[in-house]
A and B are shown apart, each in its own frame.
Chain A
């Protein structure tokens, strides 16, 4: 069991299939992305293809399957494209987490065979250690929205 930070391999293929759309949240074309928190007992890696319940955190005021992310859209650098994701706060929670999974709850298309994909994985985040909030706020802070630092980018 381990959480290994990675962009999921299935996500890379699904990008080419038009499964994921990082249009600003609320736009009609936008996919809905969520972030779920996991304990060290979870098994997440580049091979993760979708949301998994195993190892997900359980705690006061934390709702299973996580919370929706606010996507602010996509921008271009000189030779890159990158996604702007707003920080996510789980409010008034008592929880301990070692990592997270970003996944798409509303994929726009199927796989090569046309089968519908559900809760498609995007990437696995490793917090580096156990992060704990006790009757407080738990905020996942995304890196600056730049071509060099944005969490999801194609360079």
Chain B
């Protein structure tokens, strides 16, 4: 027999929801950051400060590129709307 071995359900899931909109790049980047950088609660204070600073800079990069992706996707959508004969819908993308 192998002792102290167990199948475990680990940390809890979180549920994030929105109403009448999708998530913003800022909200999604928060989620992404938690997957990219994890700072242990018992980390040395100096390491913790450094990690938090790194987290902040990564967040800014994530947000910038997510906005860029949205803008780029909107260009694709605008072209699709035009191709399908509905150029008037393009203005919705700017709102």
Contact = CB atoms under 8 A, between A and B. Distances in A.
A and B are partners in one complex rather than unrelated chains:
yes
B31 A87 contact: yes
Interface in B42-59: none
B8 to A, nearest CB: 5
Given A137-B23, A139-B23, A141-B31, A155 B5 contact: yes
Given A144-B35, A144-B38, A139 B15 contact: yes
Interface string B8-47: 1111111111111111000000010011001000000000
A143 B15 CA distance: 11
B92 interface: no
Interface residues of A, number: 40
Contacts of B19: 132-136
Interface residues of B, number: 23
Interface of B: 5-23, 31, 34-35, 38
7 closest A-B pairs by CB: A143-B11, A136-B18, A149-B11, A133-B17, A134-B19, A131-B15, A141-B14
Interface of A: 5-7, 11-12, 15, 82, 87, 91-92, 97, 100, 123, 125, 127-128, 131-146, 148-155
14 contacts: A5-B9, A11-B7, A91-B22, A97-B15, A131-B17, A136-B18, A137-B16, A139-B15, A139-B31, A141-B15, A151-B10, A151-B13, A152-B10, A154-B7
